[in-house]
A and B are shown apart, each in its own frame.
Chain A
Amino acid sequence: MELKDKLVSSFMAFENQIDVDTTVHDIRSEAIKVFEEKGFPTKKEEAWKYTSLNSLLKNDFSVFPKEEVALDFKDIKKYFIHDIDSYKIVFIDGVYSSYLSETTHEGMDICLLSAALHKDKYRQVIENYFNKVAKTDDSLTSLNTAFSREGAYIYIPKNKAVDKPVQIIHFATGNEAALMLQPRNLIVVEENAHIQIIERHQSLTENPVLTNSVTEIFADKRAVVDYYKIQNDEQNASLIDNTYISQERESNASVHTFSFGGNITRNNLNFYQKGERIDSILNGVTILGNKQHVDHYTLVHHAEPNCESHQDYKGIFADKATGVFNGKIIVDKKAQKTNAFQQNNNILIDDKASINTKPQLEIFADDVKCSHGCTIGQLDEDALFYLRTRGIPEKEGRALLMYAFANNVLESVKIPEVKSRINKLIAKKLGVNLGFDL
C-alpha cells in the first residue's frame, strides 16, 4: 500500500485510540481531509521544485511503533548538550521517555503535548493556540495535525525568564524496519518571558526514518525566544520540519538551523509578525557531503510598521550534496519602515555539488529597506596559499576558511555550550582539529 493510503486508512484507528475533546477532534478530521486531497508534495509544485520525496516514500514506514524501547542514557548522552543544566523532553520512537526527561510544572509548564491535549486545565490554551499559526492548507502540516499526539508542550507565563535551556530530543531506535514520526510541539511564551530551546532528531541506526514535525511558537509582547535546531542525523534519516512562529509587538524570536547530516532535510520556517517593533532572526549553517540534501524554505511576513527581519544562511557543499535556499519576504502595505535583510552565501567544494538559491520578495509598502544577496563561490585559493605559507597545512587551511565563512552565524548563538558543540561538529564534519573555538 502506498504511504498516503496507509496513513489515511490508519487515521480512524488512530483517532479512536486517543482521548481528546471535540475541538481537537474536529481539527484533526479537517486536517486529514486536506492531506487526503493534496497528498505528499511533488516536484511539480513550485515550492518543492528542487526537493523530491519520491524515493523516500517508497519505504514501508511503520506509522505506529509496535513496542516501546528503552535506551540507556550513557549510550545517547553524546546527543545532548550535556555540559549544561537543562530541562529535557525526550522521545523514543515517538513515545515520551520519562526517565530521560526532566520536565516541570513549577511556575511554568515544560511537559508533554499529550497531557495538554487531554487534561481539562489546558483546554483554554489548546483552544487559543493549537493549530492557530500552522498553515491549515499545507498538506504535510495537515498530515501532522491529523496525527498529532505527542511532542513538547511549553507554556511560559508573563515576565518569567526560564532559568535554563530546554532540550527537545527525538530518538529513533531502529526497532522498526522503517519508521515515520510526527512530533508536534506547542510553545507559548507570554509577555516579557524568555526561553531558549534546543531541538534535535536523532536516528540510532541505518534504518530509514522520516520525521514530519510541526512546531507552533507564540511569542507575546516583548517575549524573547531563541531556538536552535541541530540537524546532524544518520544517512537514512530524513526530516521535514515545519515551524510556525507568531510574534506580537516588540518580541524577538530567533531560529538557528545547523544542518550537517541526514538524507533529505526540508526546513519550512515561517515567521508571522503581528505587531510593531518586532525582530525576527533566521540564521543557518549548512555543511553537507555525500548525497545529502537540505532545502531551506523560509517565509517572513511583515504585517505591521517598524519591524525588522535578518536572515543569514551560509552553505558549504561537498561531494554530490545539494542545497536549496528559498527566502520569501512579504511586506504588507501597512508595514512601512520595515527593515528586511536576507543573505545566502554558498561555497561549492566539488563539481558535483550544487545549490539553488532564490530570494522572493513581495513588497507592497513604499518606505522599506530590503536588502538581499546570494553568492555561490569556491574557497579563496589566494587565502589558502596565505595560510599555507604560515605553516597551516592544506586540509586545515581549507577547514579554517570554512569556519571563517560560517563564523558570523555562530557568533549570534547565545548559549556558549551550544556554540562550542557546533564548533566541534563542524570540525568533525571537516575532519580536522583546529584546537580553538571561533
Chain B
Amino acid sequence: MLTIKNLHASIEDKEILKGINLEVNPGEIHAIMGPNGSGKSTLSSVIAGKEEYEVTDGEIHFEGEDISELAAEERAHKGVFLSFQYPVEIPGVSVTNFIKTAINESRKAQGLEDMPAKDMLQKIREKAELLEIDRRFLSRSLNEGFSGGEKKRNEIFQMAMLEPKLAILDETDSGLDIDALRIVANGVNKLRSKDNAVVVITHYQRLLEYIVPDFVHVLHNGKIVKSGTKELALELEAKGYDWLKQEAAV
C-alpha cells in the first residue's frame, strides 16, 4: 500500500529525513517510535504532502503510484489521512461545516454528487457517538479553544468520517487521559479492516496496548535504525533510546 524508498527530505537546506525505507501493507499496523526531534512529524508531513519540505531523493508510492509530486488534497482524495500532532485552530468554521466541506470536496474529486444532507447528518451522528463526542461540540469553531484531548478526539472523528485507506496518527495519544485514550483507540480499532492500514507515531508503549502494532520501527536522526515486532516497543519502554543511539553510532 505505502512504499517508501530511500526518502531524503529537507527544509531550509537542513536535511531532516536521511534515507527512510518503509513498507506498509493493507491490514497492517505499524508503530514509529523515536526521541524528540528525530523526524517523526516531518515524515508524516512529507507523506501527507506538505510543500515546505523538499524531497531531495527517494520515492513515495501509494497503491503502486508515485505520489511525491501530488498536492496534499490529491493525496487525501486517494485515501491518505494525517492526524496532526498539533491540530490547527480555525476560528469561524464549525466542525460540522468543515467536515461536510471535506467530504463533499473529496466526493467531487471522485466525480460524485454531494452527499445528501440526511446521510451526512446520519453519518456525523454515528461517528460522533463512536468517539463519544457531544453534539454541541460539533457546532463549535474547529479546534478553537479545544483542550488537547478534544483536539485529538476531533482528529479521529474526522478520520472516521473520511474513512481513509492509510491513516497516520502523529502522537494522537499525547494529551489524552486514560479514558480518552481508550475511546480514541477503540475508535481506531473499529475502523480497521483488511483493506486499510494505520501508522501510529508515539513516544509511549501505552497506546500500543490498545492499538496493537504488527511492526515497530525506531526513527533516530532521520533514519529508521531498528525495526521489529511489538516486543521492541516494550524494550524501548524499559531501556529508553540511548542504547539505540549508541548502536546507530557504531
Chain B 104-125: CB-based contact to A (< 8 A → 1; otherwise 0): 1110010000100000000000
Q: Is A12 an interface position by the 8 A CB rule?
A: no
Q: Is B180 an interface position by the 8 A CB rule?
A: no
Known: A391-B73, A404-B91. A386 touches B101 (CB 8 A): no
Whether B101 contacts A403 by the Cβ 8 Å rule is no
Whether A400 contacts B76 by the Cβ 8 Å rule is no
CA of A391 to CA of B91 in the docked complex: distance in angstroms? 19
Q: A403 is contacted by which of B49, B50, B92, B100 (Cβ under 8 Å)?
A: B92
Residue of A nearest to B72 (CB): A388
CA of A215 to CA of B103 in the docked complex: distance in angstroms? 47
Residue of A nearest to B79 (CB): A391
CA of A178 to CA of B104 in the docked complex: distance in angstroms? 46
User: Which of B82-90, B203-211, B224-232 touches A?
Assistant: B82-90
When distances are taken between beta carbons in the complex, the residues of chain A under 8 Å from B49 are 388-389
User: Which of A125-133, A289-297, A430-438 touches B?
Assistant: A430-438
Chain B nearest CB, measured from A387 CB (Å): 8
CA of A392 to CA of B88 in the docked complex: distance in angstroms? 15
**Which 4 pairs, one residue from A and one from B, show the smallest C-beta to C-beta distance?**
A404-B92, A407-B92, A388-B72, A391-B76
Interface residues of A toward B: which range?
Answer: 20 to 34
Q: Is B97 an interface position by the 8 A CB rule?
A: yes
Whether B93 contacts A390 by the Cβ 8 Å rule is no
Residue of A nearest to B99 (CB): A390
Could you list some 18 contacts between A and B, CB below 8 A? Answer: A380-B88, A382-B88, A383-B88, A383-B90, A385-B51, A386-B90, A387-B90, A387-B98, A389-B48, A389-B72, A389-B73, A391-B76, A391-B77, A391-B106, A391-B109, A400-B93, A408-B92, A436-B100
Task: Identify which of residues 119-136 in chain B touch chain A, using a CB-to-CB cut-off of 8 Å.
Answer: none
Whether B93 contacts A438 by the Cβ 8 Å rule is yes
When distances are taken between beta carbons in the complex, the residues of chain A under 8 Å from B90 are 383, 386-387, 401, 404
Whether B97 contacts A391 by the Cβ 8 Å rule is no
CA of A224 to CA of B89 in the docked complex: distance in angstroms? 36
Q: Is B158 an interface position by the 8 A CB rule?
A: yes
Chain A 121-164: CB-based contact to B (< 8 A → 1; otherwise 0): 00000000000000000000000000000000000000000000
Task: Identify which of residues 48-83 in chain B touch chain A, using a CB-to-CB cut-off of 8 Å.
Answer: 48-52, 71-73, 75-77, 80-82
Chain B nearest CB, measured from A395 CB (Å): 10
Q: Is A367 an interface position by the 8 A CB rule?
A: no
Interface residues of B toward A: which range?
Answer: 35 or more
When distances are taken between beta carbons in the complex, the residues of chain A under 8 Å from B88 are 380, 382-383, 385-386
When distances are taken between beta carbons in the complex, the residues of chain B under 8 Å from A394 are 71, 73
Chain A nearest CB, measured from B80 CB (Å): 8
Chain B 126-154: CB-based contact to A (< 8 A → 1; otherwise 0): 00000000000000010000000000000
The secondary-structure label for the interface of chain A is: helix
Binding site for B on A (CB under 8 A): 380-383, 385-394, 396-397, 400-401, 403-408, 434-436, 438
Chain A nearest CB, measured from B138 CB (Å): 14
CA of A403 to CA of B88 in the docked complex: distance in angstroms? 16
Interface contacts beyond A381-B52, A391-B162, A392-B73: sample of 11 additional A-B pairs, CB < 8 Å, sorted by A: A380-B88, A388-B76, A389-B75, A390-B76, A391-B109, A393-B105, A400-B98, A405-B92, A435-B101, A435-B104, A435-B114
CA of A393 to CA of B75 in the docked complex: distance in angstroms? 11
CA of A397 to CA of B93 in the docked complex: distance in angstroms? 11
Q: B87 is contacted by which of A380, A386, A408, A436 (Cβ under 8 Å)?
A: A386
Q: B158 is contacted by which of A390, A403, A435 (Cβ under 8 Å)?
A: A390
Whether A385 contacts B101 by the Cβ 8 Å rule is no
When distances are taken between beta carbons in the complex, the residues of chain A under 8 Å from B20 are none
Query: Which of B81, B84, B98, B100 has the most chain A CB atoms closer than 10 A to its own CB?
Result: B98
Known: A383-B88, A391-B77, A391-B162. A436 touches B101 (CB 8 A): yes
CA of A258 to CA of B200 in the docked complex: distance in angstroms? 47
Query: Which of A385, A396, A397 has the most chain B CB atoms closer than 10 A to its own CB?
Result: A385
Whether A438 contacts B71 by the Cβ 8 Å rule is no
Chain A nearest CB, measured from B213 CB (Å): 23
Chain A nearest CB, measured from B126 CB (Å): 19
Q: Is B212 an interface position by the 8 A CB rule?
A: no
CA of A383 to CA of B93 in the docked complex: distance in angstroms? 12
Q: Is B102 an interface position by the 8 A CB rule?
A: yes
Residue of B nearest to A434 (CB): B101
When distances are taken between beta carbons in the complex, the residues of chain B under 8 Å from A389 are 48-49, 72-73, 75-76, 80-82, 84
Whether A391 contacts B105 by the Cβ 8 Å rule is yes
Whether B92 contacts A438 by the Cβ 8 Å rule is yes
CA of A435 to CA of B106 in the docked complex: distance in angstroms? 13
Chain A nearest CB, measured from B111 CB (Å): 14
When distances are taken between beta carbons in the complex, the residues of chain B under 8 Å from A387 are 90, 98, 102
CA of A167 to CA of B28 in the docked complex: distance in angstroms? 63
Whether A396 contacts B105 by the Cβ 8 Å rule is yes
Residue of A nearest to B96 (CB): A436
Chain B nearest CB, measured from A303 CB (Å): 35
Whether B93 contacts A391 by the Cβ 8 Å rule is no
When distances are taken between beta carbons in the complex, the residues of chain B under 8 Å from A380 are 88
Chain A nearest CB, measured from B245 CB (Å): 31
When distances are taken between beta carbons in the complex, the residues of chain A under 8 Å from B51 are 385
When distances are taken between beta carbons in the complex, the residues of chain B under 8 Å from A386 are 84, 87-88, 90
CA of A388 to CA of B80 in the docked complex: distance in angstroms? 11
Residue of B nearest to A437 (CB): B97
When distances are taken between beta carbons in the complex, the residues of chain A under 8 Å from B104 are 435
Whether A393 contacts B97 by the Cβ 8 Å rule is no
Whether A392 contacts B87 by the Cβ 8 Å rule is no
Whether B71 contacts A404 by the Cβ 8 Å rule is no
Query: Which of A383, A388, A436 has the most chain B CB atoms closer than 10 A to its own CB?
Result: A388
CA of A390 to CA of B99 in the docked complex: distance in angstroms? 8
CA of A330 to CA of B162 in the docked complex: distance in angstroms? 53
When distances are taken between beta carbons in the complex, the residues of chain A under 8 Å from B99 are 390
Residue of A nearest to B75 (CB): A389
When distances are taken between beta carbons in the complex, the residues of chain B under 8 Å from A397 are 73
Chain A nearest CB, measured from B12 CB (Å): 15
Q: A400 is contacted by which of B48, B101, B114, B141 (Cβ under 8 Å)?
A: B101
